[in-house]
Structure 1
């Protein structure tokens, strides 16, 4: 089965910066030679995550506020003793959401719901530029 690997770059603001990458992923799928298959979207880095959501400002606030309750960033995590970078909560949030997502596509069109976008979330305590790998697998 044919495989194409591509890369996009995104910048996420600190502490739960959510970026809609749907259009970037869609463009790369359309540029590929593969007509139908799946695209895996993978965030390189241990304090970032990839998921789907309805990308709108109030839901973005809800995500941030809910994660603040579940995994507060200002806790004294054991990880802080290792590197002194005080981003233990960032790592835990990324672990919870996960680094990747696989989306099917048919005739070069992502099969997402009307209100479903692919998002990158930066959980780190500083703004980050991230590389996101797209692995496109399928049929010509």
Structure 2
């Protein structure tokens, strides 16, 4: 089965910076030789995540506020003793959401719902430029 590997870069603001990458992924699929299959979107780094959400400002606030209640960033996590970078909560948030997502596509078009976008979330305490790998698998 044919495989294409592509890489994109995304800038995410600190502390739950959510970036809609749907159009970037769609453009990569349009340029692909593979017409039907799946694309896996994988965030390289342990304080970032990939998921789907209805990308709109108020829901982005809800995501951030919910994660603040579940995994507060100002807590003294054991991880802070290791590197002194105070991003233990960032790692836990990324672990909860996960680093990757696989989405089917047909005729080079993602099969997403009307209000469903692919997003990268930066949970680190600083703004990050993040490498994201796309692995396109399918048929010509």
Instruction: Report the TM-score when normalising by structure 2.
Output: 1.00
Matched residues in 1 for 2:111 and 2:129: separation?
A: 27
Instruction: Show the counterpart of 2:64.
Output: 64
Instruction: Show the counterpart of 2:13.
Output: 13
Matched residues in 2 for 1:8 and 1:101: separation?
A: 15
Dislocated runs of 4+, deviation >2 Å: none
- 1:75-97: CA deviations, max 9, x gaps? 00000000000000000000000
Instruction: Show the counterpart of 1:115.
Output: 115
Q: Does 1:51 align with 2:48?
A: no
Unaligned runs of 5+ in 2: none
Shift of 1:41: 0.1
- 1:58-106: CA deviations, max 9, x gaps? 0000000000000000000000000000000000000000000000000
Instruction: Show the counterpart of 1:130.
Output: 130
Matches within 5 A, 1:69-88: 69-88=69-88
Instruction: Show the counterpart of 1:98.
Output: 98
Unaligned runs of 5+ in 1: none
Shift of 1:15: 0.1
Instruction: Show the counterpart of 1:31.
Output: 31
Count of equivalent residues = 140
